[in-house]
Amino acid sequence: MPAPAPVKSLDGRLTMRDGKTIPQFGLGVYEMNDQEAYDSTRAALDAGYRHVDTAEWYENEAPCGKAINQWCKENNVPRSEIFLTSKLMHNKTYDRAYADIKKSLKRAEVDSFDLYLMHSPIGGPQIRKNIWRALVDAKKEGLLKSIGVSNFGKKHIQEMIDQGVELPVVNQIDLHPFMRHPEIVEICEQNNIILEAWGPLARAQRFDHPAILEVAKAKGRDAAQIFLRWGLQHGFVIIPKSVSAKRIASNSQIFDFELNEDEMKEVSC
């Protein structure tokens, strides 16, 4: 019998401030219904992705978890090789946050999330502090392997530094060549907080910009690949979303070329 084809993997990892690692490239599943989330997760794993970014808000933790579990079983890949992120939707109370984490774990059919984020800073300093404490405690209990935040501005990160609390391992914010948030990037980098880029393709709204088209033509790549390569070279974790198996595959073809300094500047519009 011929040996089975090796399973592809795009598992380049960054080390987070808690010593754990995160694949720098993953699939985002925002605005996918159950079937789309299930199919796209499987297509991404087939294409070599090892990281999926879901959220309570997206209402698709269940199909993502199901797709990962089934795919791992069928392909003889240890479940621990797939990095799964989810996020807390409501910033209400410590108890509510802790309960919501448990509900998300159950929906995703996992014992722990590799990464779990406070989805937004909404609520004011005291609520943020309470919610963060719930995430810290859930991590101590082994329910969450790493914890981070999302959509935190400079002042929210500074607030955590001033409170002397454990700092997040990542801050997931909108980052792409047209949205660079230099002040947030600076405070995160100074404190060894990894930037995760949501909307790394600018939701496909700026693919026809002349600077993007020019660099894409020079490199023989499509506009999406130029956006993603830009994020990768900045050291951001990038989680492009697509429901198309073809685009899921082409979005991952970004590890065999490089943008030079001038090209990086040119596409930073």
Q: Which residues bind ligand NAP (CB under 6 A)?
A: 28-30, 53, 119, 150-151, 172, 198-204, 224, 239-244, 247, 250-251
Nearer to ligand NAP, 158 or 244 (CB): 244
Query: How far apart are alpha carbons 19 and 172 in whole angstroms?
Result: 18
Specify the residue, 97 or 164, whose C-beta has the smaller distance to ligand NAP: 97
Closer CB to ligand NAP, residue 122 or residue 161? 122
CA 127/CA 72 separation, integer angstroms: 38
Q: How far is the CB of 137 from ligand NAP (least distance, A)?
A: 22
Q: Which candidate in 58, 94, 98, 116 is catalytic?
A: 58
Q: Which residue is nearest to ligand NAP (CB)?
A: 28
CB of 234 to ligand NAP, least distance (A): 15
Tell me the closest approach of the beta carbon of residue 120 to ligand NAP, in angstroms: 7
CB of 254 to ligand NAP, least distance (A): 11
Residue located via tokens 């943008």? 259
**In sequence order, what are the beta bridge partners of 198?**
174
* Residue of 88, 5, 90 lying closest to 48 (CA atoms): 5
Dihedral angle of Cα 268, 44, 51, 7, to the nearest 10 degrees: -120
CB 47 within 8 A of CB 8: yes
Q: Which is nearer to ligand NAP, 167 or 226 (CB)?
A: 226
On whether 119 is known to bind a ligand per the annotation, the reply is yes
Quickly list H helices, 5-124: 34-47, 61-75, 94-108
Our CA angle for 214, 215, 220, nearest 5°, is: 100
Task: Note if 58 is an active site residue.
Answer: yes
Binding-site residues for substrate sit at 119
Q: Annotated catalytic sites, by residue?
A: 58
